[in-house]
Structure 1
Amino acid sequence: MINLTKIIAAILVLLAILLGVYAWMLGRQPTPKAPAASERGSEQTKSQPAVTYPVVVAAKPLPAGQVIAADALRVEHLTVNPAGAFQEVAAAADRVPVLDLSEGTPVMENQLVSGLALRVGAGERAVAVKADEIMGVGNKIQPGDFVDVFITLKSDGKDVDRSQARLLLSRKRVLAFGSASVDGLPSKTADKQQQQAQRTEPARTAVLAVPVDDVNRLTIGDATGRLMLALRNPNDMGEPDPKLFTDLPTALQPASVRPGEPRRPPLEGLDRAQAGLTALDLVTGGKNVASRPALTEARAISTGTRAPQPGTARGGLQVEVIRGDRSETMSY
């Protein structure tokens, strides 16, 4: 009886060992359903197309500082949508890049000229002049307003015969006054207290849109006299008639016309700005010729042809300066 019990116990232990080995072998084998699920997931990934975005890119190299033509751009579908990118060619055409863009480069807003420069019209220049509360109509001027620029010249017995005040420029557009500007860009100051202080701070400059051939008038007027801005209604289109006044002479005289060449038209635009303007002509209107300094004629004189005068340095050059009917020799 004891032997039978031992035999049964040995058989049960052997069966337990066999079952344990079988369970271990089953645990080592991969799950049969896993490969099928993986294959189905990869098939679904291949069947679904990648998400793309329309992005305007350069169809050819775009040099900095030149207007972008519409045919120099094209729309490509990219898997990424860069911040500030354009989706339509019309939105980026006729803009000016600030850096060179190679072909295929996405065109973005921060790569193009922006700000106050875009508010300056063709043939105009943005010019800043000193401003204060009196000059700026009690700080009531706002960007976008139109103003007349008056100039006051005080007599000092040297440059001006007597004090005068007159209209210098008429109906000029204000691009910026103090920290406010027509470009509408938000302030970069994050602190609200600093923003409030910026609004209440008196304006120190006024930026005006001025035709390029009138920039000389404004800059000389700001340097030699006191400017005053007169605020005007934007619907008031009245301006002085330029035909009633003679043109001021330029600081640089145009080159003489050769025989047989046609007569040149009056200087305008950049040519007139290049010719410049003198403060004396601005004050006198170019008519007070007698008050101009006498023209001097200088010519070098060889040291061997004229004996040195007392007090002059030996071995130096001499110049004969002629002022009207007077002549004197100066050594240097």
Structure 2
Amino acid sequence: MSQISKIIASILVVLALLLTAFALYLMAKPDAEPIPVVMPETTPPPLYNVVVASEPLKAGAMLSSDKIKIEQWPIQPEHSFSDPSLLEGRHLRTDLAPGELIQDSMLMKGLAYYLEPGERAITVPIQADNAQASRIEAGDYVDIFFLLKRQSATGEVDTSQSRLLLAKKRVLALGAQSLDEPITENNQSHSALSNTAVLAIPLEEVNPLLIAAREGVLQLVVRSPLDEDLPDTSLFPERTHVLTTKEDLTTEQQQAMQKPENKAFAGMSLSEIAAAENKKEQDSKTTPKAAPTRTAQIPTARAIEIIRGPNSQLEHY
């Protein structure tokens, strides 16, 4: 073996010994402790108490503590209840399955709760065949037309007329059918037997409706709840009231006269409901006509014309 080969072999032996020693060192060294992974603490979502049915319930059933129970939900639904005592003695409008949430709209609560602020529930007579033919039901929106016949005796209505009185009013009840009655699959419409309707009417429009219902015939016409078109009353003469205001009202009091409750208190007459043209005719009859004025004529003196050839001359006498 040459000298160079011996040197290379020696170097390789030394490297092998070093690697062996390093391997033994690693084997003898204890394992490093693993770094613990810190998991973020997760808080459970909040739970809310909600009242549900504990058994099958039929529409019209009265709620009691043995028919309802509390469950915990991760959400609080709108118009739900968390206190079962608020539901005891209440009656259902719909059927409920076990575990079904009880909401405010599922309870019978009286027609007053269906009124918006400033509205009143007014009962008016209607023709039964009108309700049956139009298939009107509680909850529908209707336009209210009225028919007035000529009243020659009183003179308040000079001509028979039919006009739109009120637009887009909600029907709260029709005969025995009501927004507050129980809703069942076998519910039948009572419109065939309906000769009265309960309507939600703004306070200031109650007087015209009562007069039209008393002196004429009302016709309810179903309209789409999505239809927002309404008559522009600013295009027509403003109706006057039965009661006149005081003459010395302040500016604040005059503004208060525009409130619905004050307009309703001031009242409305049949002649105002009939038509503006009718009122103008009555005003023209009651207003005395001015006597014709005569102008005094100045007397003129008498004269005679005398003609002499091409000349003429007036002689007064």
TM range (shorter): 0.5 to 0.7
| Alpha carbons 2:174, 2:190 under 8 Å: kept | no
The alpha-carbon deviation at position 257 of structure 1 amounts to 2.5
| Alpha carbons 1:132, 1:202 under 8 Å: kept | no
The alpha-carbon deviation at position 142 of structure 1 amounts to 1.1
What is the one-letter code of the residue matched to 2:254? R
User: Residue 222 of structure 1 is aligned with which of 213, 221, 228?
Assistant: 213
The alpha-carbon deviation at position 181 of structure 1 amounts to 1.4
User: Residue 257 of structure 1 is aligned with which of 248, 252, 273?
Assistant: 248
Cα 1:86–1:110 shift into 2, 3 Å: farther
In structure 2, the residue matched to 1:288 is 279
The alpha-carbon deviation at position 222 of structure 1 amounts to 0.1
Cα 1:225–1:110 shift into 2, 3 Å: same
What is the one-letter code of the residue matched to 1:167? L
Matches within 5 A, 1:97-116: 107-110=86-89, 114-116=109-111
Report whether the alignment pairs 1:133 with 2:124.
no
Report whether the alignment pairs 1:164 with 2:155.
no
Q: Which runs of 5+ in 1 are unaligned?
A: 1-53, 57-80, 94-105, 296-323, 325-332
TM-score with structure 1 setting the length? 0.50
| Bigger shift: residues 114-123 or 283-292 | 283-292
Structure 1 stretches of at least 4 aligned residues deviating more than 6 Å after TM superposition: 83-90
Give the number of the structure with larger relative contact order, counting CA–CA contacts within 8 Å between residues 6 or more apart: 2
Equivalents in 1 of 2:224, 2:148: separation in Å?
Answer: 26
TM-score with structure 2 setting the length? 0.52
| Alpha carbons 2:126, 2:217 under 8 Å: kept | no
Equivalents in 2 of 1:86, 1:287: separation in Å?
Answer: 65
In structure 2, the residue matched to 1:248 is 239
Equivalents in 1 of 2:276, 2:162: separation in Å?
Answer: 13
Q: Which runs of 5+ in 2 are unaligned?
A: 1-48, 52-63, 92-107, 289-317
| Alpha carbons 1:248, 1:286 under 8 Å: kept | no
CA RMSD of the aligned region, Å? 3.9
| Bigger shift: residues 119-128 or 175-184 | 175-184
The alpha-carbon deviation at position 55 of structure 1 amounts to 12
What is the one-letter code of the residue matched to 1:131? I
| Alpha carbons 2:146, 2:219 under 8 Å: kept | yes
User: Residue 182 of structure 1 is aligned with which of 179, 183, 191?
Assistant: 179
The alpha-carbon deviation at position 290 of structure 1 amounts to 6.4
Cα 1:85–1:121 shift into 2, 3 Å: farther
What is the one-letter code of the residue matched to 2:178? S
Matches within 5 A, 1:28-39: none
Matches within 5 A, 1:1-332: 82=65, 107-110=86-89, 114-136=109-131, 138-157=133-152, 158-185=155-182, 199=190, 201-258=192-249, 264-265=254-255, 266-285=257-276, 288=279, 291=282
The alpha-carbon deviation at position 251 of structure 1 amounts to 1.3
Equivalents in 2 of 1:281, 1:221: separation in Å?
Answer: 11
The alpha-carbon deviation at position 249 of structure 1 amounts to 0.8
Equivalents in 2 of 1:86, 1:249: separation in Å?
Answer: 58
Equivalents in 1 of 2:164, 2:120: separation in Å?
Answer: 20
SS of the residue aligned with 2:130? coil
Aligned length, in residue pairs? 199
| Alpha carbons 2:177, 2:191 under 8 Å: kept | no
The alpha-carbon deviation at position 212 of structure 1 amounts to 0.8
Give identity over the alignment, percent: 31
The alpha-carbon deviation at position 274 of structure 1 amounts to 1.2
